[in-house]
Structure 1
Amino acid sequence: MADSIEELYETYNILTEAKENVSKHSQEYLKCMERTKGNDKEKKLAAQIVSKFFKHFPDLQEKALNAIFDLCEDDDSMIRISAMKVLPAICKDSKEYVPKVTDILAQLLQLDESDHNTPTNTLSQIYKEDPVGTLKTVFNHVSSTDDATEREKCLQFIYKKIIKMEEKLTSEIYDLLLEEGKKIIPTLFDHGIPK
């Protein structure tokens, strides 16, 4: 196990030292992605490395993101938490992935209370990077899911984390909340209103 972690650190050093030529090291980056299927320590470290160099490998981004999403569903709570915590870095550098990441986090909001804070906080961080994109995706998730718990957790997120920050709501966000809120009200009656 020590050797595999050591190899991961060596790979990390190669990517770091490559600086502006980092994109020429796709094989090393792929090795890091493979380690997301390793032991617990490898998974956590690999998730950090994959997210850190994500923007440098556009051709591998879908594969990298899926590797991190797999970790978000790991059986080990600490690995899930570690994986979720790297998602804002990916969204900061690659805003086109905000909808996909937000949708996954919206699903993860229904985790047990012990894990629930992580997707909530991660979603809040992504919201700061792209408020409109995040909010639209969460509302879209509410209207498209058949899972009452997911709908309820998403609406709680919108209420507790966004609407309660009323002093920070821009007119664009306020208008979006009204517009999207009107759209989902009929779907709530179709699916059953959360208690």
Structure 2
Amino acid sequence: MATANADAAEVERLYELGDRLSSAKDKSQHAADYEAIIASVKGQNVKAKQLAAQLIPRYFRSFPALGTFAMEAMFDLVEMEELAIRIQAIRGFPLLGKDAEFISKIADILGQLLTSGTAFLLSFLSSNVKCGYASQVLSCISEENVERDAVHKALMSLIRQDVKNSLQPLFKHVESGSEIREKIICFLRDKVFPVKAELLKPQAEMERYITDLIKKSVQDVTGLEFKLFMDFLRSLSIFGDTAPRESFQELIEIIQAQADLDAQFDVSDIDHIERWTSCIYMALPIFTVWPIQLNNN
């Protein structure tokens, strides 16, 4: 009973701190209140942590000196076991992203969260599915979907705020071959690429920017992933049918690098043969648009 009363009192205290910040004309004079909200993340009260996950982003911009402190608290919140706390923190991240210095870091964290639900689900299934816990399995699947959707929405909100600084850390995971690269590629395919006309503005500058990111990322990808990226590049205006000769030459050079034409051809290497054949099929449509001489250097 005493614990319940203490928890209720803590939640009430946070509401009072939030109300005081909300009504203050000069919020910067209430830094101690904001610090107290941040500090509540270290406690054991689940409802207080969930409320803190709402209040920290709401007043984040009013206390730039506490930005790093607040950001670390939000990172702690997305690692909590309780789904409600994680979801609330994830939803609040785009508000923190309004400060440019934090956008890349937030995008990186959200990118890593694309796999968090999957990892938890696999762990649960491996230890419980044989016990016949069907309802728990279904609950885990539902929770994973909720968290995944929250991450997707938060990432897209962040990308719409700052395309360059949001996409760069995501493509970095693809380029480095990190364990989350497949989830990142799926996110790019399903959420980012379909709305390229909305995101890539000014068009020429941003299409060039994402092209450079892709060129770095395709150095170590599967055949299907390479085709995905090449199809996307072909959809950009800078590589359209009326693009200059140099643009088509650039596409051919990307395909050449993937085909690894300088490597010794081994008829017993099935992967090499399949990659080489796939690259030929990708290059042929480009030649039909504009005849280009391959670089024989």
TM-score between the two structures when normalised by the length of structure 2: 0.59
Q: Which structure features the higher share of helix residues? A: 1
Which residue in 1 is equivalent to 2:150?
118
Q: Deviations over 1:71-108 (max 9, x none)?
A: 1111111111110000111112x122110100100100
Radius of gyration: which is bigger? 2
Gaps of 5+ in 2: 1-6, 118-143, 227-297
Of 37, 43, 55 in structure 1, the residue corresponding to residue 49 of structure 2 is 43
1:131 paired to 2:137: no
Question: Residue 103 of structure 1 corresponds to which residue in structure 2?
Answer: 108
Question: Given that residues 110 and 151 in structure 2 are in contact (C-alpha distance below 8 angstroms), is that contact kept between their aligned partners in structure 1?
Answer: yes
Give matches, 1:173-188, under 5 Å: 173-188=206-221
Instruction: Compare 152-161 and 101-110 and name the one that shifted more.
Output: 152-161
The equivalent residue for 2:184 is: 154
Report if aligned partners of 2:111, 2:184 keep a CA contact under 8 Å in 1: yes
Aligned to 1:164: 194
* AA partner of residue 136 (structure 1): Q
Greater mean deviation of Cα atoms: 129-138 or 101-110:
129-138
Alpha-carbon distance between aligned partners in 1 of 2:57 and 2:9, rounded to the nearest angstrom: 22
Q: Which residue of 1 aligns with 2:18?
A: 12
Aligned length: 187
For structure 1, list consecutive stretches of 5 or more residues without a partner in the other structure: none
AA aligned opposite 1:25: H
Give yes or no for contact 2:94–2:158 (8 Å, CA) kept in 1.
yes
Whichever residue aligns with residue 185 of structure 1, its letter is V
Q: Structure 1: which amino acid aligns with 2:50? A: K
RMSD across aligned C-alpha pairs, in angstroms?
A: 1.9
AA aligned to 2:169 is T
CA deviation map 1:165-195 (0-9, x unaligned): 2442432332222211110111437xx99xx
Post-superposition shift, 1:145?
5.2
**One-letter amino acid matched to 2:104:** P
The amino acid across from 2:185 in the alignment is: L
Partner SS, residue 74 of structure 1: coil
Partner of 2:172: 140
